[in-house]
């Protein structure tokens, strides 16, 4: 499985070959360094560990510094492991955005925006309960009944209620690569991807 680490820069749009306006997300993808290579003989499975965005050595502990020195790479801020990486790469090699092609489908993994504590209308798309007149007070966005009295006399686990929303790992599948700008390490993906500006994303084939 091919993959790369990147950073979400924002959104833009451009006109395609057919004159259609294409909205897309701009991601700075790579270059990533192969920090470690795992095999069946040494680790029990095949994987490649990639590092993205250089980090000052003073900001790493001794264990991290030693791990990066084995590969001859500088300390990296973000590390991700890709199993069964289908490119013949060795430790210290660079992975660039050129491993993808325009028009192919990819999956993007990122952390969604945190919304804080939200009610059921925003969190679960409830419609609200009750009338908005005849003396109703403060019940327009309430969840309604959450259980029964005599039986089961408790609230079932997993019931959709108000609570903390967002800040979760989200994987969006079958997104189309709209454009690749190799000299600037940019990949433009059709539509939106989860996460805020500046957040790290994982792009998988």
Q: What are the extents of the domains in the chain?
A: 3-114+169-204, 115-165
**Residue of higher predicted confidence among 72 and 99:** 99
CA-CA-CA-CA dihedral for 33, 6, 3, 16, to nearest 10: -130
Decide if pLDDT at 63 tops 80: yes
pTM: 0.82
146 vs 139: CA distance, rounded Å: 14
Q: How confident is the model at residue 10 (pLDDT cuts 50, 70, 90)?
A: very high
The reply to whether CATH 2.40.30.10 applies to domain 3-114+169-204 is yes
Q: How confident is the model at residue 27 (pLDDT cuts 50, 70, 90)?
A: very high
Q: How confident is the model at residue 129 (pLDDT cuts 50, 70, 90)?
A: confident
pLDDT at 120: 93
Decide if pLDDT at 164 tops 90: yes
**Residue of higher predicted confidence among 63 and 132:** 63
Q: How confident is the model at residue 121 (pLDDT cuts 50, 70, 90)?
A: very high
pLDDT at 85: 80
Q: Which two tokens stand for residue 170?
A: 């989200």
Q: How confident is the model at residue 40 (pLDDT cuts 50, 70, 90)?
A: confident
For residues 193 and 171, is the Cβ–Cβ distance under 8 A? no
Beta strands in the chain (DSSP E): 3-15, 21-29, 32-38, 47-54, 76-83, 94-95, 105-111, 116-118, 163-165, 169-181, 186-190, 200-204
130 vs 177: CA distance, rounded Å: 46
Q: Which two tokens stand for residue 35?
A: 């920090």
Q: What single DSSP character describes residue 86?
A: -
For residues 9 and 92, is the Cβ–Cβ distance under 8 A? no
- Which residue has 């890709």 as its token pair? 82
Average pLDDT value for the chain: 88
Q: Is 99 helix (H, G, I), strand (E, B) or coil?
A: helix
Instruction: Find the range with the poorest average confidence among 33-42, 86-95, 104-113.
Output: 86-95
31 vs 76: CA distance, rounded Å: 11
Q: How confident is the model at residue 30 (pLDDT cuts 50, 70, 90)?
A: confident
Cis peptide before 163 (omega within 30 of 0): no
Decide if pLDDT at 118 tops 90: yes
Question: Residue 203 to residues 2, 74, 119, 182, 183: CA-CA distances in angstroms?
Answer: 9, 22, 32, 16, 18
102 vs 47: CA distance, rounded Å: 25
């Amino acid at each position: 499985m091919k993959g790369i680490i990147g950073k979400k820069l924002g959104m833009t749009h451009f006109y395609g070959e057919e004159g259609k306006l294409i909205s897309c997300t701009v991601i700075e993808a790579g270059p990533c360094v192969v920090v470690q290579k795992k095999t069946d003989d040494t680790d029990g499975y095949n994987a490649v560990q990639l590092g993205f965005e250089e980090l000052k050595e003073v900001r790493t502990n001794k264990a991290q510094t030693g791990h990066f020195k084995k590969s001859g790479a500088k300390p990296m801020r973000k590390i991700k492991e890709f199993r069964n990486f289908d490119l013949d790469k060795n430790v210290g090699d660079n992975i660039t955005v050129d491993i993808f092609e325009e028009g192919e489908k990819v999956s993007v993994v990122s952390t969604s925006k945190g919304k804080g504590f939200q009610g059921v209308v925003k969190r679960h798309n409830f419609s609200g309960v009750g009338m908005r007149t005849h003396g109703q007070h403060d019940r327009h966005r309430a969840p309604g009944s959450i259980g029964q009295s005599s039986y089961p006399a408790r609230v079932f686990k997993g019931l959709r209620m108000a609570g903390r929303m967002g800040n979760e790992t989200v994987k969006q599948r079958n997104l189309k690569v709209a454009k690749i700008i190799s000299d600037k390490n940019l990949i433009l993906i059709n539509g939106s991807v989860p996460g805020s500006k500046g957040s790290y994303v994982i792009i998988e084939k």
